[in-house]
């Protein structure tokens, strides 16, 4: 039997152009074990991905801030405090870097995010004042409550599903995947992963983006 999976989205299921690799739609629906999509994106994004893949909505969103499985949803983190910090950030000249629609933050439940080109130094200074932390995913800066992590989200989903988080294989590319790697039984960082992810993963693979992920999945199938 193939193992259950915990998969990041950006940099892991995508191409280098930040688009979902079309092969995802062939490989993941055919996977004969549970899949948890664990991402820094806001809740609707992974839910929509699961919907269009035709797989159960088993999701860890917003870096652990939202957990969904078996029709149950729970929330962690203090969005109100994040909003207060962002107000202070803007008062001091900071710009989140999104357009007026701000679809990056519009549906966030537990944290807020700034564009990767935003003023990181100012954002981190404000975060410290409000007792928050900033996580750099390589795609955005996430202003979040300390202690809210993807790894805890995976443990929560696994518990709902009656599984051990240690039975999962995790694949990711960013510092927000470090806790995910710690919770899972086996972990892989794709070749484009940052230093913290590579340092935390049990295995670092040479291939990048979904090419790397696909190689792991093919190996797991061959071993099953």
Catalytic annotation, pick one of 8, 10, 119, 194: 8
Q: Measured between alpha carbons, how far is 132 from 5 in angstroms, rounded to an integer? A: 30
Active site residue 8: yes
Cα–Cα distances in Å, from 132 out to 6, 46, 59, 124, 147? 26, 24, 23, 9, 10
Which residues participate in catalysis according to the annotation?
A: 8
């Amino acid at each position: 039997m193939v193992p259950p999976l915990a998969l990041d989205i950006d940099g892991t299921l995508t191409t280098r152009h930040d688009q979902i690799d079309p092969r995802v739609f062939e490989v993941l629906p055919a996977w004969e074990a549970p899949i948890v999509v664990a991402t820094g994106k806001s809740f609707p994004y992974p839910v929509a991905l699961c919907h269009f893949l035709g797989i159960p909505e088993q999701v860890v969103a917003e870096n652990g801030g939202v957990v969904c499985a078996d029709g149950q949803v729970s929330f962690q983190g203090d969005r109100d405090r994040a909003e207060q910090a962002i107000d202070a950030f803007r008062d001091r000249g900071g710009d989140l870097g999104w357009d007026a629609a701000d679809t990056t933050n519009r549906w966030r439940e537990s944290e807020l995010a700034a564009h990767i080109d935003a003023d990181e130094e100012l954002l981190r200074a404000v975060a410290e004042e409000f007792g928050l932390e900033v996580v750099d995913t390589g795609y955005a800066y996430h202003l979040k409550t300390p202690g809210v992590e993807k790894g805890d989200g995976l443990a929560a989903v696994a518990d709902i599903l009656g599984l051990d988080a240690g039975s999962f294989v995790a694949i990711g590319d960013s510092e927000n995947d470090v806790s995910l790697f710690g919770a899972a039984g086996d972990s892989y960082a794709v070749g484009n992963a940052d230093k913290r992810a590579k340092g935390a993963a049990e295995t670092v693979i040479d291939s990048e983006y979904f090419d790397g992920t696909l190689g792991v999945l093919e190996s797991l199938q061959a071993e099953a």
